[in-house]
């Protein structure tokens, strides 16, 4: 009998992780797995937020505390295709099977392993195509004489520096000239540096 862990995630506070947990417990029972750990992240956007449940699951996996990981669907565990492949690859290296209920993927079987290889190939092709499109766009822009990178800020640096040195707050100066507080600090420092260099 294999020991299993469950990972569940919901993106918004109004969603209920219990639905995923119920379905995965049922799946584990049907397959004869013993669920020893359940990990969850609530109200967490996969692409942006820190996921403490996922981190705890991976730490448990590295300690070989379970044999199988059960998830409801790919998008519950991964931020992106690349992230998904990294997680599944690490689980495979640790000898842990990965089972996704919605996609009916089980990496313990030949079809599951073939699917993972196929997804990896598609992800690699996607990265190559994106890179080539970016390079082609940059070549076309250069050919057409377009400027690459950020356009210079069209502001009166001297007036900005004078306002700041006269006591105007960073926020006020930033709003007046349409720049960030960090840019105000940088412009003032550069002006003071030039003044010191000129006096030397």
pLDDT tens by residue, 94-108: 989 999 888 888 887
Residue 47 near residue 80 (C-beta atoms within 8 A): yes
Distance separating alpha carbons of residues 113 and 133, to the nearest angstrom:
31
Catalytic residue among 11, 80, 100, 172: 11
pLDDT exceeds cutoff 90 at 147: no
Going along the chain from its start, the domains and CATH numbers come out as 3-106 (3.40.50.1390), 157-199 (no CATH)
pTM, to two decimals: 0.57
Confidence of residue 119 (pLDDT cuts 50, 70, 90): low
List Cα–Cα distances, 31 to 7, 106, 122, 138, in angstroms.
17, 12, 30, 53
Note if 11 is an active site residue: yes
Nearest to 70 by CA among 109, 114, 102, 116: 102
């Amino acid at each position: 009998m294999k020991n299993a862990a469950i990972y569940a995630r919901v993106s918004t506070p109004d969603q209920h992780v219990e639905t995923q947990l119920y379905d995965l417990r049922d799946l584990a029972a049907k397959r004869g797995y013993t669920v020893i750990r359940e990990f969850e992240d609530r109200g967490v956007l996969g692409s942006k937020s820190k996921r403490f449940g996922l981190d705890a699951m991976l730490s448990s996996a590295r300690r070989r505390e379970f044999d199988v990981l059960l998830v409801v669907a790919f998008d519950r565990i991964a931020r992106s295709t690349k992230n998904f492949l990294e997680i599944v690859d690490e689980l495979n290296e640790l000898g842990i099977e990965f089972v996704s209920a919605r996609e009916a993927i089980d990496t313990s079987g030949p079809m599951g392993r073939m699917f993972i290889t196929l997804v990896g190939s598609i992800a690699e092709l996607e990265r190559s195509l994106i890179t080539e499109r970016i390079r082609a766009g940059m070549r076309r822009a250069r050919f057409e004489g377009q400027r690459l990178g950020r356009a210079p800020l069209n502001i009166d640096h001297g007036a900005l520096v004078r306002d700041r040195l006269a006591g105007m707050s960073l926020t006020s100066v930033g709003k007046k000239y349409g720049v960030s507080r960090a840019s105000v600090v940088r412009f003032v420092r550069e002006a003071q540096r030039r003044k010191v260099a000129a006096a030397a």
